[in-house]
Chains A and B, each alone.
Chain A
Amino acid sequence: MVIEIADVIISGLINGSVYALMAVGLTLIYGVSKAFNFAYGSFYSLGGYIAFLLFGLSFINNYFLVFLLAAPILLVFGFFVEKVLVAPLRKRDDWEIKVMMITLGLALFLDNSFQVIFGSRMKSLPPFLEGGFEGGNFYLSHQDVGIFFLSIGGILLFRWFLNNTRTGMSVRAVAQNPAGAQIVGIPKEFVFAATFAISTVMVGMGGILLAQKYFITPMGGWDILVKAWVITAFGGMGSIRGGLYAAFIVGMLEAFVGWYFGMTWTLIVLFAVLLTTLAVRPQGLLGKWG
């Protein structure tokens, strides 16, 4: 029993860490530009498929190279999508709704493209670490430990970026006060595109990490979009710290509900928790009114 619960906690922590990495990206876009990206889940699948393609190249045989090559591809892709599809809409009335619609269209386009290019069968990635820690009935794979530390490392890197780089400073300034940021010389439009690109890298990296455990499918991103949205709303729209807390709560909740009631109950319980939270505290855990 104790070992089972320890297993569940570890599973919750691992999933929570990857959810945190991905939810922070979605929170970042919303916090800075107030846009909701419906293609976020498809960017998760894109990360997995890019890794799948890279592993098909003869000279690539380890995850370090995959991350090294996938990150700039995702960065350029995210930047390009924001500049070409999202930025022109900001000058129009009701642009927030239009951004939701166009990113929804992009998600459907990408998912169907994945299906045509890669087929509907699941694709898998090799585990980036073999073996595990054993002791009696207890087993913890090195892969899970690696996923946990890479996700936490990604979040810490992001935090360092926000607090210690010039672009990070501009992102924080625009998120807190777009008008004030512009008039002290910050190019707001560039910051919007940069945050979109960074969030694409974060969710894409999450896709690569989780694809080792849960495979890659053309429509697999929708589950991630729903969870990222639940975490973002639960933590407080635009609150990065709230998103982090919410990600680990959701990860734990999912693990315990899956263990006790079965996996089919996890989404139902997640939405019940979300609805209850929003009914009692509409701004989420750490969000602010208005």
Chain B
Amino acid sequence: MLRVTNVTKKFGELTAVNNLSFEVRQGQIFGIAGPNGAGKSTVYNLITGLYDFKGTICFKDQDISGLPPHRIARLGIARTFQIPQTFPSLTVAKSIEVGSHFGSQKGFDKDHVDQVLAFVNLAEKRDAPTGSLNLLHKKMLMIGAALATRPEILMLDEPMAGSNAKEIIQLMDLIRRINQDLGVTIILIEHFMKVLTELTQTLLILETGTKICCGDPKKVTSDPRVIECYLGDCND
């Protein structure tokens, strides 16, 4: 469904992503992990058109390299950011309407907006200003705005960051429902290994922009190269 081929991104002398290739299959939850500075969020910025790069990214066999972010969103790739990117003066419902108005190929659909509000458990807060929400609700809202674009792929950037155990369970449940009930393919950047091993079917590990390994999460997390580069060498 999404194929990243030989992608390289440099910022001056720094190579943030180095000749990276991987493929995400339809319907799966695909995890990306790696230490800080590994290039995980940069990969999201490349896929969503925020940065230019060398290489090719194809979505459903269409080359989307070089397309602007709003066109990629309209093709069916939505994302969230680690720090919730909301519209502080808009209400919760209006924020989700923005996604429906601009990101959905079917155009604005009020019923769909209401369904999304209920799906992310924000129906009761529909008239609240976005700026008044707590962190969990802001994350839910950002996911809701992304879902309002009717995506085929949803890319979540560290959704669990800053959440407590109870909130992590809520977010994991939401991610599962998005994948299973809505049939949306998910790419998930996360630091919590437990979340990744429980949710994902494939896990990609990056270090300094380079692929270390990619495959079944349980095998990947027990790979000595991953333990050394990501989890840290216990003998140190």
Decide whether A and B are members of one complex. Answer: yes
Q: Which residues of A contact B (CB under 8 A)?
A: 166, 169-170, 172-173, 176-177, 179-189
Which residues of chain A come closer than 8 Å to B148, judged between CB atoms? Answer: 184
Max count, chain B CB within 10 A of own CB: residue among A173, A186, A188: A173
Whether B68 is near chain A, meaning CB under 8 Å from some CB there, is: yes
Given A169-B94, A170-B102, check contact A182 B69 (CB 8 Å): yes
Is A181 within 8 A of B88, CB to CB?
no
Q: Tell me whether A177 and B69 are in contact (CB under 8 A).
A: no
In the assembled complex, B85 has its CB within 8 A of some CB on chain A: yes
Given the known interface contacts A173-B98, A179-B81, A180-B81, the answer about A185 and B74 at a Cβ–Cβ threshold of 8 Å is yes
How many pairs of residues, A versus B, come closer than 8 Å at their CB atoms? 74
**Main SS of chain A's interface residues?**
helix
Picked from A172, A188, A189, the residue with its CB within 8 Å of the CB of B90 is A172
Within the complex, the shortest CB–CB distance from A244 to chain B, in Å, comes to: 16
Give chain B residues whose Cβ lies under 8 Å from the Cβ of A186: 70, 98, 102
Give the interface of B toward A (CB within 8 A). 48, 50, 68-70, 73-74, 78-79, 81, 85-90, 94, 97-99, 101-104, 108, 142, 145-146, 148-149
Enumerate chain A residues within 8 angstroms of B74, measured Cβ to Cβ: 185
| A184-B103 contact, Cβ under 8 Å, with A169-B97, A179-B50, A179-B85 | yes
A185 to B101 Cα, complex, angstroms: 8
Q: Would you give 28 A-B contacts (Cβ < 8 Å), ordered by A?
A: A166-B101, A166-B108, A169-B97, A169-B98, A170-B102, A173-B87, A176-B87, A176-B89, A177-B88, A179-B50, A179-B85, A180-B81, A182-B69, A182-B73, A183-B48, A183-B85, A184-B145, A184-B146, A184-B149, A185-B70, A185-B73, A185-B102, A185-B103, A185-B104, A187-B68, A187-B70, A188-B69, A189-B68
Chain B residues positioned under 8 Å from A170 (CB to CB):
98, 101-102
The answer to whether B86 and A185 have CB atoms under 8 Å apart is: no
- B87 near A183 with CB under 8 A, answer no
Q: Shortest distance in angstroms between A173's beta carbon and chain B's nearest beta carbon?
A: 5
Known contacts: A172-B87, A172-B90, A176-B90. The answer to whether A184 contacts B50 by CB under 8 A is: no
Given contacts A169-B97, A176-B89, A177-B87, contact A184 B73 (CB under 8 A): yes
In the complex, given contacts A179-B85, A182-B68, A183-B79, what are 14 additional A-B residue pairs having Cβ atoms less than 8 angstroms apart?
A169-B97, A169-B98, A169-B101, A172-B90, A177-B87, A179-B81, A180-B145, A183-B48, A183-B85, A183-B146, A184-B98, A185-B73, A186-B70, A189-B68
CB <8 Å contact, B87 and A182: no
Minimum-distance CB pairs A-B, first 8 = A185-B103, A180-B85, A185-B102, A182-B69, A185-B73, A184-B99, A187-B70, A176-B87
Bound CA–CA A177/B148 (angstroms): 17
Give CA–CA (A166, B100) in the complex, Å.
Answer: 11
B102 to chain A, nearest CB (A): 4
Chain B residues near A176: list those with CB within 8 A: 87-90
Q: How far, in Å, is A29 (CB) from chain B's closest CB?
A: 18
Shortest beta-carbon distance, B70 to chain A, in Å? Answer: 5
A188–B70 contact, CB under 8 A? yes
**A166 partner residues in chain B, CB cutoff 8 A:** 101-102, 108
Interface pair B149/A185, CB less than 8 Å apart = yes
Interface centre among B79, B101, B149 (most CB of A within 10 A): B101
Question: How far apart are the CA atoms of A183 and B69 in the complex, in Å?
Answer: 6
Distance from B236 Cβ to chain A, minimum over Cβ atoms (Å): 38
Question: Considering the chains assembled together, what is the distance between the CA atoms of A230 and B47 in angstroms?
Answer: 43
Docked pose: A152 CA to B74 CA in angstroms: 38
B86, chain A: closest CB distance, angstroms: 7
Given contacts A176-B87, A180-B87, contact A185 B99 (CB under 8 A): yes
Tell me which residues across on chain B come within 8 A of A173, comparing CB atoms.
Answer: 87, 90, 98
CB-CB under 8 A from A187, the residues of chain B are 68, 70
The answer to whether B78 touches A184, judged by C-beta atoms less than 8 angstroms apart, is yes
Question: In the bound complex, how far is the Cα of B198 from the Cα of A143, in angstroms?
Answer: 73
Taking the closest CB of chain A, its distance from the CB of B20, in whole angstroms, is: 21
Bound: A183/B142 CA distance, A: 11
For B44, the closest partner residue in chain A by CB is A183
C-alpha spacing A172/B88, complex, angstroms: 10
Q: Which residue of chain A is the closest to B104 with respect to CB atoms? A: A185
Contact A183 B73 (CB under 8 A): yes
CA distance A180 to B142 in the complex (A): 9
Note all chain B residues with C-beta closer than 8 A to A172.
87, 89-90
Distance between Cα atoms of A65 and B148 in the complex (Å): 42
Closest to A180 in B: B85
How long is the Cα–Cα vector from A173 to B87 in the complex, in angstroms? 6
Which residue of the partner chain A has the closest CB to B102? A185
CA separation between A156 and B89, bound complex, in Å? 19
In whole angstroms, what is the CA distance A182 to B149 when docked?
12
